Amino acid sequence: MLKPNKSEALGSEPIAGLLIKQAVPASIGILVMSLNILVDTIFVGNWIGSIAIAAINVVLPVSFFIAALGMAIGIGGSSIISRALGANDSGKALKTFGNQITITLLLTVSMVVLGLVFINDLIPAFGGKGDIFEPAKIYYRIVLYGVPVLALSMMGNNVIRAEGKPKFAMIAMIIPSVGNLILDYILINLLDMGMEGAAWATTASYICCFFYIFWYFLSDNSELKIDISHFGLDWPILKEMSALGFVTLARQAVVSVTYLLMNNILFDLGGEASVTVYGIIGRMLMFALFPVLGVTQGFLPIAGYNYGANNYSRVRESIKLAITYACGVALLIFILIMAFPEAIVSVFTQDEAVLKDTPNAMRWVFAAVPIIGIQLIGSAYYQAIGKAVPALLLTLTRQGFFFISLVLILPNYFGEIGVWISFPIADTLSTVVTAYFLWRETRQNLETET
């Protein structure tokens, strides 16, 4: 059954305050997760050794893919839930949530079984060869046990946000990050458990997060109270959920391809130093854009709920304010990057070649950041309202269509600078395309309220 509608605040509170209320916790959660990746790497490298870092990097693609799978199911289903709550369709909201749990368990348990059966073939395929193989195998096996819990946590986190509960979603993101660092210290540093300690720290942190999310849905904080009848798979819901969730999976796949291309192209152009430059810039993109991504996450349930309620004036207002907030924050980031690139780079390394080349490259990469909010909010809008095809195409314009094409062409004429100028050109082109379709959508489909 569905509890009394607490999510109705998404359809009644002032958009400006509501967007801040949704975006700030999401931003904090993304920031903490990003910091966790950095600090965890420092801990493992210092307490176990560089081979341990390499071993974990071999396993990370598996964890990231499973996390992306859970996130895809979460975002795809949450778009349906937000719109169903807005339309007071409690049956569809509950059925969707039950189907999310069922399909997440079916897919991830199957992947764990296959992963364990083919463990000796998969690890070398991901790069775990030579001295890296054994520590990677230890880490891989233990982390794989926690994969279903990780996917359920990622899925559940997006459902919490769809209910309009950003603070609970933020706590769910912080728990595994903080828990992992604390357990790293205890299991690796104090108990000297080596790779097993690192792996169990990661898996146990996933479990802690899962128990928190499990508690949330059992508590009075959640409206979604499902029973066994909701777990039966419903093909129309699965079809819609898969179409919307595929947008997230496709985005992750394009990011992976981009990293592969960039590393190879830059190594051919400038060797290890150029790859290191990109590594630093990649970290900065992850950290610097967290508030913009937070605004995007905060925007999704507001747009979805009000679209489901046919409250198009609030949808239009949420689009305008989300773009304003995202671009405003991005402008501040742009100013800081342009003013202090040398100081930022020096935090990462003291290598003279890297210190010399990175600031200029960073300026190019961040050159079009002030307008990036339009592209992110525009593509997120289509995902929020359940239009999977335009959401997928607009999501892929930036890196999939424009950037990959540019980075394959421009370095042939301009050398390494051609790599860096591909970023602002791709950002600008994808923003123009997204802005056009978003403008057309608001003119055609958001003018009349029913």
Q: Is position 152 within any domain?
A: yes
Give 278's DSSP letter.
H
Residue pair 381/239 in contact by the 8 Å Cβ criterion = no
Residue 1 resides in a domain: no
Which of 193, 213, 233 terminates a domain? The answer is 233
Per residue in 359-390, pLDDT (tens digit) is: 899 999 999 999 999 999 999 999 888 888 88
CA dist., res. 263 & res. 265, Å (int): 6
Q: Is there a single domain that holds both residue 189 and residue 251?
A: no
Same domain, 246 and 134: no
Q: Answer whether residue 13 is part of any domain.
A: no
Are 375 and 298 part of one and the same domain?
yes
- Domain identity same for 239 and 211: no
Q: How far from 66 is each of 144, 160, 248, 249, CA to CA, in Å? A: 10, 19, 12, 10
Q: Looking at the domain assignment, is residue 445 inside a domain?
A: yes
Task: Quote the CA–CA distance of 127 and 42 in Å, as a whole number.
Answer: 21
Residue pLDDT, tens place only, 102-138: 999 998 899 889 888 988 988 877 667 778 788 889 9
Confidence of residue 17 (pLDDT cuts 50, 70, 90): confident
In a domain, 134, yes or no: yes
Output the six-digit token pair for 237.
């819901």
- Last residue in a domain, options 169, 204, 233: 233
Q: Is residue 339 domain-shared with residue 254, that is, in the same domain?
A: yes
How many CA atoms within 13 Å lie on the side-chain side of 216? 23
How far, in whole angstroms, is CA 267 from its chain's centroid? 27
Question: Could you tell me if residue 28 is inside a domain?
Answer: no
Indicate the SS3 state at residue 224. strand
Which of 170, 201, 233 is the C-terminal boundary of a domain?
233
d(CA 198, CA 58): 14
Do both 195 and 260 map to the same domain? no
> Cα-flanking dihedrals φ and ψ of residue 224, to 5°?
-85, 100
Tally Cβ neighbours within 10 Å of residue 346: 14
Task: Give 224's strand partners.
Answer: 2
Whether residue 348 is predicted with pLDDT greater than 70 in this model: the reply is no
Which of 22-36, 197-211, 235-249 has the highest average model confidence (pLDDT)? Answer: 197-211
* Cα–Cα distance for residue pair 311/448, rounded to 1 Å: 9
The answer to which of 128-137, 201-210, 231-240 has the lowest mean pLDDT is 128-137
Residues 291, 350 within the same domain: yes
Is it the case that residue 263 has pLDDT exceeding 90?
no
**What 3-state class would DSSP assign to 315?**
helix
Q: Are residues 260 and 368 in the same domain?
A: yes
Q: Provide the domain limits for residue 341.
A: 234-449
One domain, residues 213 and 280? no
Based on the fold, state whether residues 204 and 331 are members of the same structural domain.
Answer: no
- Please indicate, yes or no, if residue 35 is contained in any of the structural domains: no
Q: Which residues of 424-435 are buried (b: 16+ CB within 10 A; e: fewer)?
A: bbbbbbbbebbe
Enumerate the H helices of 48-132 as residue ranges: 50-86, 90-117, 119-125
Is 26 part of any domain?
A: no
Q: Are residues 269 and 307 in the same domain?
A: yes
Contact, 239 vs 103, CB < 8 A? no
Q: How many domains would you assign to the chain?
A: 2
Question: In Å, how far are 40, 50, 180, 191, 424 from 281, measured between CA atoms?
Answer: 19, 22, 25, 35, 14
